[in-house]
Amino acid sequence: MAVKKVALACSVCGSRNYMVVKKPTRVERLEVKKFCKYCGNHTLHRETM
């Protein structure tokens, strides 16, 4: 079974700060509030390809 790894990119500066393992059952686009070290703030991070 293939486990998909996706990067979470900051929606403000666009840097890919996190790698997460995405479960195949979750099809919706991930959006998580995480700390961005480049922005120095908690920003919205979105899944990227």
**Chain contacts with Zn ion (rule: CB under 5 A):** 10, 12-13, 36, 38-39
Residue 6 or 44 with smaller CB distance to Zn ion: 44
Residue 13: CB minimum distance to Zn ion, A = 3
Q: Please say which residue, 12 or 26, places its beta carbon nearer to Zn ion.
A: 12
Per-residue burial over 24-49, b = 16 or more CB atoms within 10 Å of its CB, e = otherwise: eeeeeeeeeeeebeeeeeebebbbee
The least CB distance from residue 40 to Zn ion, in Å, is 8
Residues in the chain: 49
